[in-house]
Structures are given as structure tokens and as C-alpha cells.
Amino acid sequence: MDARDAELKKELHATLQARRELGEEYESALVDSFLEKVDQRIDGSVERRVRRQFAEQRMVAARDGGRSAGAGDSWGERFGFGIVSLVLAVPLSAIGAGVAHLPGLIVSWLGIVGVNAVQAARTNPDLFGGRRRRGGGSDDDRWTD
């Protein structure tokens, strides 16, 4: 456990203690305040990772002399998108479940899965049964689904 985790644990303990002392009427404000701190921590972590990944991509591009594997299909982009998606899933799940309980949690995860499915389809068009050409390349080729 690093110092930031210990700090967040102290914040949670303080929030729970304040909830006990202040009562239920302040619960929503206390939870919102704690979630804002968690969200700021996640944003900082994501920003550091994105900066690190961007710097690594710039170094690779500089080493390769500007050659790249093609926009949108690099392993690093897919990995980064997956990491960001999972990191953002935590506060989205907490907010969805906190506001609307199980239906809110389900809607949050449907959105997360939907965004990832769109990203997967964008980077790999054949993944979900995309369009393929029929025939051997003659002028009357037809598209088929």
C-alpha cells in the first residue's frame, strides 16, 4: 500500500466518522465529497498513464523514423483504452449504484461495455461479422454481410 492509498483510506475513515457524528441528513454530501476525491485521484492516475504512454509512443516514433503501424490499430492504443475504461468504470459504477442502485449499476456497465464494443469494432472491423467481399476480384464483385 503506497502513501496515496493510505491517504485515501484515512479520507474514507474520516468520512465514515463524520457520517456517524452528523447523521443521515449529511450522508449524500459526505459521499459526494469522498467520491470527488476518489475521482480526482483517478483522473491524476489516468493523466500520468496517458502522458507516459504518449511519451513512449513519441520515443518509438522517433526511433522508427516516423514509421507507424497504422492509426487506430496499435496494441498500445487498445491497451490504453482498456486501462482507461476500467479505471473510469469504478466511479461510474459507484455513482450509478449510489443513485439508482442495481438498475443504475446495470446501465453504467452497459454503457462501459457499449463503448468498448464500439472501440473494438473500430479497430477490428471483422470482429462482429463485418462486410466481406465475395468473389475473386472481378468487376462485378458484390458486398455481402
Q: Which of 44, 65, 86 is the last residue of a domain?
A: 65
* Residues 77, 50 share a domain: no
* Residues 41, 6 share a domain: yes
Amino acid 68: pLDDT: 47
Using alpha carbons only, give the angle 53, 4, 10 rounded to the nearest 5 degrees. 150
| pLDDT, the chain, mean | 81
* Residues 86, 56 share a domain: no
- Of 61-70, 77-86, 128-137, where does the model show the most confidence? 77-86
Evaluate whether 93 touches 108 at the Cβ level (below 8 Å): yes
In a domain, 59, yes or no: yes
* Residues 7, 56 share a domain: yes
Give the range of the structural domain holding residue 90, as residue numbers without chain letter.
72-126
> CA torsion angle for 35, 36, 39, 45 (degrees, to 10)?
-120
Band of residue 132 on the pLDDT scale cut at 50, 70, 90: low
Strands (E), the chain: 132-133, 143-144
Give the chain's domain count.
Answer: 2
